[in-house]
Structure 1
Amino acid sequence: MSRDKRHKRLADLLFPTRWMFIGFFAILVPQYILSPASAFEVKALVENVSAERSDLKVLDFLESGFEIELRDDEQLTLSYLASCVMEKITGGRVVIGEKQSLVKNGMVSRSKLKCNTSSQTSKSNEAAAVVFRAPNQTEQSTKPIKAFSIYPVLKAGNFEGNFTIQDMDRFHEPLSVPVQKGVADLGKQYLALKSGVTYRVTAGEKEYVFIVDEKADRSRKAPYLVRLIVF
């Protein structure tokens, strides 16, 4: 066999293998690049910021890897959705993690909150401590979720107007709660719900059904993570 023929036969043997490898690589790579795990994921909630900032405000949701630089005298309070851990941080560099922050050159104290970390979430990319309304989910398919405060905080995007809160048994008159910048804090308005009672809250065309836990927190100033319901 001539040298050219030997080279051609070798190429014929190697060529399909090479393309099989490239095809295999092309199938695998998008799975890693486009994996849901690499997409935006909410991990923490801003409870309080001691100074006004352009990049951070109360009730902001933060993703894993988000970095915050604090002045030496600046304080930040975060709560983690998956672990129900609350952090009070003073100064330093803060990097949002999965269940707690990485804090460099600053001080941090942590405490555990009472909240549900089971399958309360209704969106796959958001954690379970905060109650989220699932898009396109009907009332009949929605299992009431427990609220762990008698003073919930209701958040519905840029909605302006009033939330209507009605107990499902209709034993009480419905509450009309004013909304500012999409948020209504029942604690600030001294409007307490009843433990063990199921409620429907309506904001325009949006609604959600939830039940207040029998042992719900009774403080008007409980952390937002315990009280927040997001439409």
Structure 2
Amino acid sequence: MGAIVFNLTTAALMVLMFKGGLALVGENTLRGRPVPWAAVALTAVAIGAVVLQHSWSGAMDALDSDPRRSGWWRVVTSVFMQNGGFFGALWNIVTLAATAALAQWFWRGPLMLVLFAAGILLPERIDALFGETDRSTDPRNFAGSSGATYFLAATLAAALLLTTTDTRQRLLALSVPAAGLAMWLAQENGHGLVTVYGFALGAAAVPLAHRLRRRSAPPTSTGQAEA
């Protein structure tokens, strides 16, 4: 029963963040948006990693984040390994594809990839700052993209909070870190904790995103300005 509740709350948090992402980019604008090629590439890597797992029996041993094994690459490669069975892998890939697309449409490709990389690298460093240095010995935590995906999705909730004036949307955005923190405290659900981390970084990244947009915007000619 506990595992069912854990999975349901984890899924509910993603649904909450997905709704926030749709509100941020505008659900009615999706059909007119360009193909998010960076998100497509990221998803292709995740799918390719699953294919590799099923075609090479030693893939998990070589690429997961088992603390008993050495290898600097494991912190990155383990994210693209999946160990939740067929439905777990399907959920992780679908949520990664959807989240990365929404994130690219708001943050743009390069910043989206930077934030996803932050979701891979930062949580462990932040945990160390707070004295949480013990690495999990549960094999379920040795692989999977969900942590980085939840981190990335939470950045969209932070952006929604800082860019909207709609009260309902702000409450939706605020519910994301609140739910994540509650999940961590009640269940020790790591998805909740990385969501809080992602929300904090997303809030810090919004001014940078605005600055990059201004730099990339075409200059207004004098004639256009006078007209």
- Larger % of strand: which? 1
Which structure has the bigger radius of gyration? Answer: 1
TM-score by length of 1: 0.21
| TM-score where L is the length of structure 2 | 0.21
